[in-house]
A and B are shown apart, each in its own frame.
Chain A
Amino acid sequence: MLEISVQKKLRDFDLEVSLKVEEGEILMLVGENGCGKSTLLNMVAGLLTPDAGEITLAGEPLFDSNLRINLPPENRTIGYVFQSYALFPHLTVYENVAFGLRARHLSRRKIEERVKDQLEVVGLWDVRDARAVKISGGQKQRTALARALAIEPRILLLDEPLAALDIRRQAEMRKELRKLIRDFGVPSIVVTHDLRDVVSIGDKVSLLEAGKVIHSGPAEEVFNAKPLAGAVIR
């Protein structure tokens, strides 16, 4: 289980969030631009440091302000899919997916095996030698996902994973994404703007406003929950 309880002073407001995500559970994080969603993901990933609080994974602290523990991002084993995908432009699709494995100094054979597995799952083995900047939006998104999953992360973080796709691709990817994340079975947080994402991907939903969680509940209830209905869909 991933437990987050953090505070951080931001420019416009104080972020103060407590969340729990079970193994295999997908939490949808919803809220307006600049409400602190990405900041929260970055704190879980270790790219930003909270002012106070703790982040624990299966009882083991990733960050704890009292114990002065703050694991650097490279030691947290987190699969992070960035909004812009952040694919390495100088590398091929294959090399992008292999990046995290090389950083772990796995054997050559092991790397080949795992990259092949991941790329076949997302259907990109055929374009493995293409430069990451030369492929389509949907392919980029799947490369980013394959790259994040290849390191066998203990937590999955997805920041607006569908936002950069056109509407038709979004509908296809929603199902695919849910299956991929589900199969992986680790605590997952998905940031989104879109209520359709919430129902078709998530198990739980939390609405963030100016740094505070103002509503939490099962994903199916998303259309009934008052604070959500007004806040999202644009």
Chain B
Amino acid sequence: MALCRFERRSFLDRIKGVEITRIRGRALKAGLALLLVLAGAFIALPVASLFIKSASGVTLQTLWDPVVIDALALSLFTATTSVIIVIILGTPLSYLNARFDYPGKEIADSLIELPVVMPPMVGGIALLMAFGRMGVLGQHLHAWGVNIAFTTVAVVVAQIFVSMPFYLRQARISFEDVDLVLENAARTLGASRTRVFFSVTLPIATNGLISGAIMAFARALGEFGATIMFAGNFQGRTQTMPLAIYTAMQGDLEVSLCLALILVAISFAIIAIVKMLTRRMYKNDVRD
């Protein structure tokens, strides 16, 4: 009799237990869903607001404002130049880091990552101390009649400084993903090291390199702190889009919004391209 009661209670308890687990599961799901919505809204709301607010004020006319045109042209020109230089210098460097050991590699690795964690303003001052007219290297350059600081060249230098790590990191991973046995096979088939690199390693790593270059481009395009410290804020020469947005905020909000919209559009395009490339990379099993 007692045993029977005990069993019945434990049976009820178990039903209750299942019920509690189910409720808990639902609560957890609801909580997570809420979190997801909040996080989504936190990013979507400001971006949407940009469109909503500019819908009333920004017209096509704003797009032809000299400030906008100058900033857009300068930004596209400098960011493209920066990325090209980053690719040319960074590709062999990241291949070296992916495939070979050399003394001081640890230090080199940390140095490469430094500009990512360093506040851009600090980077700007550092560049000024190095290449400015009174700078460590800059004073010698100045004696030769070469001035970098506060010129378009300085904009490019600042962008390279902050965007290079993004490319180096991605390029290194892409090279490391290329199976060494493929390079070995190519060697035994009669290809020199250079030929192996250009006909095997590079083509297989290409998608990864491109997405790295795009990330570097995005970083260069958004660069603000190092640029304003090292290159100044002169329309048409060093005033890139982020600088123009900041400057225009003091007076003409419309110009600011217009530039911001252009940057948002470019950012969206960048994300879309990177996603497409990564998907293609996996679908093709190129890394098989």
- List residues of A whose CB falls within 8 A of some B CB: 42, 45-47, 72-80, 82, 84, 86, 88-90, 99-100, 102-104, 131, 133, 147-148, 151
**Chain B positions 171-211 with a Cβ under 8 Å from a chain A Cβ:** 179, 181-182, 184-192, 195, 199-200, 203-204
Chain B residue at smallest Cβ distance from A131: B284
Cβ A86 vs Cβ B181 within 8 A: yes
Cβ B181 vs Cβ A84 within 8 A: yes
Chain B contact patch, size range: 20 to 34
Between A and B, 24 residue pairs with Cβ closer than 8 Å are A45-B184, A47-B188, A72-B187, A73-B184, A74-B187, A74-B189, A74-B190, A77-B190, A78-B188, A79-B188, A80-B188, A82-B184, A84-B181, A86-B179, A86-B181, A86-B184, A88-B204, A89-B182, A89-B285, A99-B186, A103-B192, A103-B195, A151-B189, A151-B190
Contacts of A47 in B (CB 8 A): 184, 187-188
Tell me the interface secondary structure of chain B in the complex: helix
Cβ B188 vs Cβ A89 within 8 A: no
Could you tell me the distance in whole angstroms from the C-beta of A76 to the nearest C-beta in chain B?
7
Contacts of A46 in B (CB 8 A): 187-188
Cβ B188 vs Cβ A76 within 8 A: yes
Is B286 in contact with chain A by the CB < 8 A criterion? yes
C-alpha gap A102/B181 in the complex (Å) = 19
Cβ A45 vs Cβ B204 within 8 A: no
Is B252 in contact with chain A by the CB < 8 A criterion? no
Could you tell me the distance in whole angstroms from the C-beta of A153 to the nearest C-beta in chain B?
9
C-alpha gap A100/B288 in the complex (Å) = 21
Cβ B288 vs Cβ A89 within 8 A: yes
Cβ B191 vs Cβ A103 within 8 A: yes
Cβ A100 vs Cβ B190 within 8 A: yes
Could you tell me the distance in whole angstroms from the C-beta of A113 to the nearest C-beta in chain B?
18
Tell me whether A86 and B285 are in contact in the complex, defined as CB-CB below 8 angstroms, given that A74-B190, A77-B190, A103-B191 are known contacts: no
One of A42, A74, A76, A78 near B191 (C-beta < 8 A): A74
Contacts of B187 in A (CB 8 A): 46-47, 72-74
Cβ B185 vs Cβ A86 within 8 A: yes
C-alpha gap A100/B199 in the complex (Å) = 11
Cβ A103 vs Cβ B189 within 8 A: yes
Chain A residue at smallest Cβ distance from B190: A103
What 0/1 pattern do residues 207 to 242 of B give for CB contact below 8 A with A?
A: 000000000000000000000000000000000000
Cβ A147 vs Cβ B203 within 8 A: no
Could you tell me the distance in whole angstroms from the C-beta of B94 to the nearest C-beta in chain A?
19
Chain A residue at smallest Cβ distance from B196: A74
Could you tell me the distance in whole angstroms from the C-beta of A161 to the nearest C-beta in chain B?
14
Contacts of A77 in B (CB 8 A): 190
Contacts of B191 in A (CB 8 A): 74, 99-100, 103
One of B182, B188, B190, B287 near A88 (C-beta < 8 A): B182
